[in-house]
Structure 1
Amino acid sequence: MSQLPAGLVDNVPDAPAGSAGDAQWVAQARQSLAHTDARLCKRFEQGDNVERLLGVRARAADQLIREAWQRCVPADAGLALFAVGGYGRGELFPRSDIDLLVLGEAELQQAHEGALARLFALLWDAGLPASHAVRSAAQCAQAAADQTVLTALIEARPLCADATAQHGLARAVSPSLIWPPREFFLAKRDELLQRHQRFGDTADNLEPDIKDGPGGLRDLNTLGWMALRAFGVSNIDALVGLGHLGLDEAAALKRERLVLARLRFGLHLVAQRAEERLRFDYQKALAARMGFGDDVESLGVEKMMQGFYRSAAVIRRISDRLLQRFEEQFDGEATPEPVGEGFSLRRGYLSANDPLWPHGDVRSIFALFACWARTADVRGLHSMTARGLAEMLDEIPAYTQVDEAVRDQFMALLRGPRAVDTLARMARLGVLGQWIPAFAQVSGRMQFDLFHVYTVDQHTLMVLRNIGLFASGRADERFSIAHEVWPRLRKPELLLLAGLFHDIAKGRGGDHSELGAVDAREFCGANGLSSSDTELVAWLVEQHLRMSVTAQKQDITDPDVIHRFAALVADRDRLDYLYLLTCADIAGTSPKLWNAWKDRLLADLYFATRRALREGIEFALPEAERVLEARDNVREQMNLLGYADAVIDRQFAAMPDESFVRFRPEQLVWQAASLVEVRKGGTLVKVRRITPESDALEVFVHSPDRDGLFAAIVMTLDRAGYGIHRARVLDGPDDTIFDTFEVTPVGSFADGDTARLEAALRKALAGNIQILRPARRVMPRQLKHFRFAPRIEFLESSQRDRTVLNLVAPDRPGLLADVAHVLRDQQLRVQDARIATFGERAEDQFQLTDRHDQPLTETSRQALRDALMTCLEPDRTPGDPH
């Protein structure tokens, strides 16, 4: 239980009870409570009904509180005691607070102040955490001007109170005096909506709040408070009799409440405190305690969380309808406005004109969604229409069980206006899972990692939403070329289908891309798509990860990489579709995953592949010709900036040929222009934003070469609060280095000030870089629950003179700085690096040589492996010397 709202809670005493008699009672009370809790814990693990357990614990607390009251407060004191808040409902979770109200006139409060102090000290000493208020009836009425205070009071349950006291409290908070039903309803509805917004208006968070999150127990309580205030009823069944709730809806709310209450009960046991969030710290232990076991397809924790997400979705769906019915009760029905054959708007809600709609006909349901898509400013479905849809939900056939005309209706929705909104509505209302049973299987399915922050179905809807952004035709700074690529799609609905099916086979135990492609091929074939369109959708589903992996894990400046990818894609049409699907997929995985660096990375891969397809997959310019072509391009741009050819030639002579192969022309222009004022043997540090709107930065360092430079730069960037996404380490003429890093802020102290970062790097490089050490970092709580054994792999480089180190390890703050420190201590040189982080996994690749620029010997490899494993030990304090 939460504490009572501000204005209702007095100070909670923590002074021990004084007398020996009190001490004896406290000991007995603690023993009794411990015995009750142990018995309830056992019954919980045996699967007993959680409502009974909550009631038993509340009654056990009632008994002890009454005993304490009788010990401390004289029978003729004229004071009354009530349970309020959640405890007032007669339920008490294992670690919840106990909310109490002492009712009495001011002079009586003062006369028995010592007795009340003794009472609450006894309760706390006995293990009953009582939050209390001492008020007169008039004071209660005054405090109840705050609707949160009134909410706690309207469920007041007498513990030690006569009829007079009960009637007095009821009069003080009567709807005729304060908060009439309609005003109370509006206030609680606004409170509910604001609370939902605090959680991103979704229950599908990695660490959801069982109590306060959308679709949580607080939503059910809110409906109960509204019903109690408006109709004087204290249970859901009474709403059925009043016509506000159907029998099936009432049964569903009761069923899902039991699911959430059981989760909350178990969470309190596992956390051993009043924890309401399903945090990673407790998810696995709670799943095991509740009997969810691992199998080939799913972890037990994933099964448990899927149950929660599905319950929350049902509660939200029904509560939306009930809120609307309450609104109708207060405001009445409006005159219907026809908006299409068989449908009208009622107070902005789309309603079927026929009260018996949809007559078991799925065609009527698709007609509803088509009308919804055509009609602007619809607030949602009318409650009775939504109820009719819900009652038919289990009867909606799968797409394989209907005739061609019905399937054509669905495809018309995909090709029609606001197709993304239509799919999202169908998913939220449960229709999409009935129409495509495979989608129902991933509904509420979570993946126990930090990479996927949404359930599979919610992620799919986010991907579709991103596709909808591309379709709007408006340029979006997050996706630099998507609005240019979108108009070239032959059939945009094919991209929607690929987005819908790309993760639909998650959790089946095999490769979800391959299994999803089978589903997509079957769906497209059944819905009359041509063989070429069907194969395109299936190919997109099967290859939907390929472009992301290529861009993030391979060197896309390597012609061989580009030509292998171009050979896979085969034509421009597929490239356009795959590029947009990849952008939508990455951006729909986590709000933090998409950034300007990834946008540019994918755009670079897209343009390089498009060029390879245009020139012919089998044709690739020799590297010398590519260098000359790049130099001509850069020279042209520098001429436009006013640089003479002699200056440009001098700059080109100081730059490595490889840079003209690895970097884009605009990067080379920036580097060459920056180097104009640098004297031979000098050090240059330049930082710029990758795009004006983004927080991603590009860092360019030119300096005489010396051992430990890479480690010094990485450790300085880490200390400044920046994470490295890509590092390009090149050797220049005259024993110089040309290092480029693409970074984003990962620490709160990274302020994005380019001049400050330049100064920090210059200062670090001007000193003794060998004494630099990684900063000490605290391991974030979430990362502690996703440990796995690091994987270290050595490969031969295609350049023959280097050794490739592949490192996969649990991510943590300062990891790259620690790894760079190890490489420096092993006297190794970093010739190139690719840095990638996927949730809790760091997947980095380094091209290494020894200090003589030779590949690593077997002895050097083993020494490096041992040093890295010591560094990466999960229990090691980051930053400590190895």
Structure 2
Amino acid sequence: MAINPPVLPPLPRLPVAVPRSGVSSDARRALRQLLGDVDRGLTVAFRDGADASVLARRRSESVDRMVAHVWTACLGEVDNAALFAVGGYGRGLLFPYSDVDLLALVDAPEPARLRALEQFFATLWDIGLKVGHAVRELAHCRELASSDATVFTSLLDARRLVGDPAFDATLRAIIDDPQLWPPADYLAARLAERDARHARYDDTAYNLEPNIKDGPGGLRTLDSLRWLGRRLAHAGGFEDMQIEGLLDPAERTSLCEAESTLRRYRYALHLEAGRPEERLLFDYQRALAARLGFEDEHEKNLGVEQFMQGYYRAASQVERLGVQVAERFVEMLEPPGDEEPVGTDFVRYGRRLAARDPELFMRRPAALVEIFIARLDVPGVVGFSADSMRRIHQATAVHEAMLATDPDALAAFLRLLRRGAPAVDALWRMNRHGLLAAILPAFGKVFGRMQYDLFHVYTVDEHTLRVLRNMARFADPAAKRDFALGCEIWADMPKPEILLLSALLHDIAKGRGGDHSVLGEEEARAFCTRLELSRGDVERVAWLVRWHLLMSTTAQRQDITDPEVVQRFAEKVENRERLGQLYLLTVADVIGTSPRLWNAWKDRLLADLYHATRYALSRDVDLPRDAGERVQECAEYALALLMDQGVAEADVERVWADFPQLSFLRHRPEQIAWQTTAILRAGGAVPLVAVHPMSVRGSTELFVCTPDRDGLFATVTAMLDRLRFSVMEARILSSPKGMAMDTFLLLESDSQQPASAARADELQQRLQRALAQSTGVQPGKRTMSRHQRHFQTAPKISFDDAGDRTQLALVGTDRPGLLAAVAQVILEAGARVHDARIATFGERVEDFFLLSDRHNAPLDQALRDRLLHALLERIGPSKD
């Protein structure tokens, strides 16, 4: 059954303008009505599936008629002025809320002419057009164009709408003047503008809220290619650029298809936002996905993720080809240099590498990988020749179906990986050329794969490449200052290909549904087998992919000061080599997920787990040490530290007489010594509040010692929230004499860094005053950010028996003041907090509390139900 094509609204039929009569109020109302009719008709046509480019051109044509009508009515037929459309409007495209950019060129304008122009522009605004305009004399226009590449570029798109035709030739003379922006200068200016623009958008097309117009890989990149083609090769369109050899047919098709997608998304975004919005904000992404027909497949492949993947794939194609075509322009303006042989198959021309035989890649697919290896061996090479880049693309497309199984190509790929850290740059470049996805087809499936949360700030493929780059940093001696342990471990790793493969494959199964670690293990084992790794190496990579989250989850969700936790982790890891590999992968993964996730506390946490596990593996025992032995060892070490500071042993013993035994199990000797010193200095005064700005745990440590009372935890967390501190860990202990001895590890909420000395003093004084009062501190009213509001989900809350305590588990999305709110609810429900384990993963929190009732008994069912209801009421997604 045939489907009727969308119906475009007709071009507006306007009455013949009466010259210089102006536009009456009735005529203005009629024009506003006509413009509204056109826009409504275009919206319906877009909803019915019309092409966005066709609609943008129809809107431009409609506005052309209105603008010409108003010009004639205000200025009449003039021979010394003309009106030009510039910008996107000059290219004949107007999206629903695009600016109507106009340039009026005049010869020595008289006051009457200027008044008529003012009336003209005011009328356009009055009928509903958002006009950007400039009025210039020709000499001034030329002067501006000669000094500003942006002004010169705007003239390249200039299109006369109405007025004296003689201005066409005059404007053309400015554009074609070889003295104005010679090709080399213009290319340098445009590349500088590109780099500055990309820097404003984090230099990547993979932002969570990308800018369709100006971001990397956006529509501006396509415009820039046309401008460069026009100025450097007299080829202003992709068809002309193909004729000139700057694009091959496949590249031209890719650019056109990507442009069609970006224009469709931009058109829909304008309609959804109701304004000239160019960023795919979270506010619009779900609605846009629904508007464009994307539906949820399953919870690991949401419609919004498919929608964003369409954007990322298009933007990536534009960014990749934009860089390559710009390189071709650079090469076009550079002398080629003398030919120098590079091995048997390649030659060097100046700073560029090329295949000796133009048919090499078609004849021998393994050479596609080998040229990237050769590039590593030739200093001073910045890239490949334009012809070689094109032939790499062509051969990759031809051989794509067999590269993943070609023994020679896979052997070359393995040789590349065995280069270690330098291979990472080659892998990044191979991805740019589409070769990485051809060798590893599963990587092509995660290309542009968005994960709709605030934890993963990059698409899966971009994240993977960043993890690889982070891995390579461990081989750089300059990185020892930031990653001393990582650099030390890397230096002892005998097979770097194991680490690079684990990084490349760790998220390869994202978006398929199910556990991506389990599915990824299968993918890793299959790919490594095709690479003909030894059976042992295959299993090493597969294990790292399967358990790549093990170390971070153990460190953040469990008490790594507990030898039993360390022992279980050690039994899973089995040996020191695997421990080192897992540590490197974990650190690279955390930093590659989001720069904000890495901080001194997390660095210290993972390092502590690594060292504790390394010690456990070297002791060759099956059972953890007896608790009494651990208490004695910690106490002896802490006593030695205190005596070195001149503290008398008798004073230490007096303080420790009221220390709970768990303190020596839960804390390091350095922490015990610091807490003891604080108590001695206080001389028995309570409440005692001590703050260590930078503790041994890589965070700010807060120690509170005061008579225990209900609501103490709620008061402390409320004050911490008011002062904008994030709680990374909490230890709630009670002494034999009823003193609360609570320890909190903190980071600044905004920077996720330890507190400065001044902030530590502020915290100490504010909390000291608060605890001295009989009334508690209420949590402050905190609002969620725009991003957080879009990712709020109902928390998952469960209760479990834990001996004489009840464990409350809370998993959900983070929000300002969450811990303080939870603490207040627990207090109001009539429960007591005895321990807290706080873990935050981006926007996701996983917090665990050990609770009792007011009589220190486990929570009964009624109290559990009351607490559950109150928590859902207070911290559910509808609350702000």
Is the 1:360–1:395 contact (alpha carbons within 8 Å) kept by the matching residues of 2?
A: no
For residues 206 and 848 of structure 1, what CA distance do their matches in structure 2 show?
Answer: 39
Q: What's the CA shift string for 1:215-236, capped at 9, x where partnerless?
A: 1111111111122223333311
2:8 matched to which residue of 1? Answer: none
2:464 matched to which residue of 1? Answer: 460
1:780 matched to which residue of 2? Answer: 785
SS in structure 2 at match of 1:93 = coil
2:726 matched to which residue of 1? Answer: 723
1:11 matched to which residue of 2? Answer: none
For residues 564 and 665 of structure 1, what CA distance do their matches in structure 2 show?
Answer: 23
Matches of residues 104-119 of structure 1 in structure 2 within 5 Å? Answer: 104-108=106-110, 110-119=111-120
Supply the AA of the counterpart residue of 2:490: W
Is the 2:78–2:163 contact (alpha carbons within 8 Å) kept by the matching residues of 1?
A: no
Supply the AA of the counterpart residue of 1:314: Q
C-alpha distance 841-872 of structure 1, shift in aligned 2 (>3 A): same
For residues 769 and 327 of structure 1, what CA distance do their matches in structure 2 show?
Answer: 74
Shift of 1:474: 5.0
For residues 639 and 715 of structure 1, what CA distance do their matches in structure 2 show?
Answer: 37
Is the 1:478–1:595 contact (alpha carbons within 8 Å) kept by the matching residues of 2?
A: no
Q: What's the CA shift string for 1:609-649, capped at 9, x where partnerless?
A: 22333334522211111100111222233333343433433
Unaligned runs of 5+ in 1: 1-17, 878-882
C-alpha distance 200-340 of structure 1, shift in aligned 2 (>3 A): farther
For residues 518 and 754 of structure 2, what CA distance do their matches in structure 1 show?
Answer: 43
Q: What's the CA shift string for 1:191-217, capped at 9, x where partnerless?
A: 112212222221011111111111111
Is the 1:302–1:448 contact (alpha carbons within 8 Å) kept by the matching residues of 2?
A: yes
1:791 matched to which residue of 2? Answer: 796
2:13 matched to which residue of 1? Answer: none
Question: What is the TM-score of this pair, normalised by structure 2?
Answer: 0.93
Q: What's the CA shift string for 1:385-411, capped at 9, x where partnerless?
A: 111101111233567864544432221
Of the candidates 701, 708, 718, which is equivalent to residue 704 of structure 2? Answer: 701
Supply the AA of the counterpart residue of 1:668: I
For residues 693 and 97 of structure 1, what CA distance do their matches in structure 2 show?
Answer: 54
Shift of 1:680: 1.6
Is the 1:720–1:749 contact (alpha carbons within 8 Å) kept by the matching residues of 2?
A: no
Matches of residues 319-468 of structure 1 in structure 2 within 5 Å? Answer: 319-397=322-400, 402=405, 404-417=407-420, 418-468=422-472
Q: What's the CA shift string for 1:511-544, capped at 9, x where partnerless?
A: 1111111111112222222222211211111111
Of the candidates 145, 149, 152, which is equivalent to residue 151 of structure 2? Answer: 149
Determine whether 1:498 maps to 2:499. no
Shift of 1:654: 4.1
SS in structure 1 at match of 2:682 = coil
**Which range moved further: 624-633 or 421-430?**
421-430
Determine whether 1:35 maps to 2:65. no
Matches of residues 684-699 of structure 1 in structure 2 within 5 Å? Answer: 684-690=688-694, 696-699=699-702
C-alpha distance 476-670 of structure 1, shift in aligned 2 (>3 A): farther
For residues 27 and 500 of structure 2, what CA distance do their matches in structure 1 show?
Answer: 68
For residues 382 and 691 of structure 1, what CA distance do their matches in structure 2 show?
Answer: 54
Supply the AA of the counterpart residue of 1:465: R
SS in structure 2 at match of 1:510 = coil
Determine whether 1:711 maps to 2:714. yes
2:7 matched to which residue of 1? Answer: none
Matches of residues 178-197 of structure 1 in structure 2 within 5 Å? Answer: 178-197=180-199
**Which range moved further: 773-782 or 89-98?**
773-782
C-alpha distance 757-543 of structure 1, shift in aligned 2 (>3 A): same
Q: What's the CA shift string for 1:486-532, capped at 9, x where partnerless?
A: 23334221121111111101111121111111111112222222222
C-alpha distance 673-487 of structure 1, shift in aligned 2 (>3 A): farther
SS in structure 2 at match of 1:508 = coil
C-alpha distance 756-317 of structure 1, shift in aligned 2 (>3 A): closer
SS in structure 2 at match of 1:424 = helix
For residues 846 and 693 of structure 1, what CA distance do their matches in structure 2 show?
Answer: 21
Shift of 1:750: 9.3
1:49 matched to which residue of 2? Answer: 51
Is the 1:94–1:268 contact (alpha carbons within 8 Å) kept by the matching residues of 2?
A: yes
Supply the AA of the counterpart residue of 1:521: R
SS in structure 1 at match of 2:206 = coil
For residues 412 and 247 of structure 2, what CA distance do their matches in structure 1 show?
Answer: 32
Superposition RMSD in Å: 2.4
For residues 561 and 188 of structure 1, what CA distance do their matches in structure 2 show?
Answer: 57
Is the 1:849–1:856 contact (alpha carbons within 8 Å) kept by the matching residues of 2?
A: yes
Matches of residues 711-860 of structure 1 in structure 2 within 5 Å? Answer: 711-747=714-750, 752-767=755-770, 768=773, 770-797=775-802, 800-860=803-863
Supply the AA of the counterpart residue of 1:584: A
Q: What's the CA shift string for 1:144-195, capped at 9, x where partnerless?
A: 2211122212211001122212222333444334222321121011111221
Supply the AA of the counterpart residue of 2:869: D
Supply the AA of the counterpart residue of 2:575: D
**Which range moved further: 761-770 or 318-327?**
761-770
For residues 473 and 107 of structure 1, what CA distance do their matches in structure 2 show?
Answer: 67
C-alpha distance 604-693 of structure 1, shift in aligned 2 (>3 A): closer
1:103 matched to which residue of 2? Answer: 105
For residues 601 and 484 of structure 2, what CA distance do their matches in structure 1 show?
Answer: 11
Shift of 1:751: 9.4
Q: What's the CA shift string for 1:357-382, capped at 9, x where partnerless?
A: 42342221122111112223332222
C-alpha distance 401-507 of structure 1, shift in aligned 2 (>3 A): closer
Is the 2:59–2:93 contact (alpha carbons within 8 Å) kept by the matching residues of 1?
A: yes
For residues 617 and 325 of structure 1, what CA distance do their matches in structure 2 show?
Answer: 63
C-alpha distance 733-692 of structure 1, shift in aligned 2 (>3 A): closer
1:677 matched to which residue of 2? Answer: 681
1:8 matched to which residue of 2? Answer: none
Identity of aligned residues (%): 43
Shift of 1:560: 3.0
Of the candidates 461, 484, 490, which is equivalent to residue 486 of structure 1? Answer: 490
Of the candidates 537, 540, 563, which is equivalent to residue 544 of structure 2? Answer: 540
SS in structure 1 at match of 2:597 = coil
Supply the AA of the counterpart residue of 2:450: M
SS in structure 1 at match of 2:681 = coil
For residues 818 and 541 of structure 2, what CA distance do their matches in structure 1 show?
Answer: 39
Count of aligned pairs between the two proteins: 856
**Which range moved further: 362-371 or 430-439?**
362-371
1:12 matched to which residue of 2? Answer: none
For residues 813 and 628 of structure 2, what CA distance do their matches in structure 1 show?
Answer: 41
For residues 158 and 692 of structure 1, what CA distance do their matches in structure 2 show?
Answer: 70
For residues 289 and 610 of structure 2, what CA distance do their matches in structure 1 show?
Answer: 44
Is the 1:360–1:392 contact (alpha carbons within 8 Å) kept by the matching residues of 2?
A: no
Shift of 1:93: 0.7
Is the 1:480–1:599 contact (alpha carbons within 8 Å) kept by the matching residues of 2?
A: no
**Off by >6 Å, runs of 4+ in structure 1:** 691-694, 748-751
Determine whether 1:578 maps to 2:588. no
For residues 528 and 379 of structure 1, what CA distance do their matches in structure 2 show?
Answer: 32
For residues 235 and 429 of structure 2, what CA distance do their matches in structure 1 show?
Answer: 32
C-alpha distance 399-485 of structure 1, shift in aligned 2 (>3 A): farther
Is the 1:700–1:738 contact (alpha carbons within 8 Å) kept by the matching residues of 2?
A: yes
C-alpha distance 546-401 of structure 1, shift in aligned 2 (>3 A): closer
2:275 matched to which residue of 1? Answer: 273
Question: What is the TM-score of this pair, normalised by structure 1?
Answer: 0.93
Shift of 1:268: 0.7
Shift of 1:274: 0.7
SS in structure 2 at match of 1:134 = strand
Determine whether 1:664 maps to 2:660. no
C-alpha distance 142-688 of structure 1, shift in aligned 2 (>3 A): farther
**Which range moved further: 123-132 or 654-663?**
654-663
Supply the AA of the counterpart residue of 2:412: Q
Determine whether 1:201 maps to 2:203. yes
Supply the AA of the counterpart residue of 2:32: R
Q: What's the CA shift string for 1:453-479, capped at 9, x where partnerless?
A: 111111111111121112335554544
2:76 matched to which residue of 1? Answer: 74
Of the candidates 621, 635, 640, which is equivalent to residue 639 of structure 2? Answer: 635
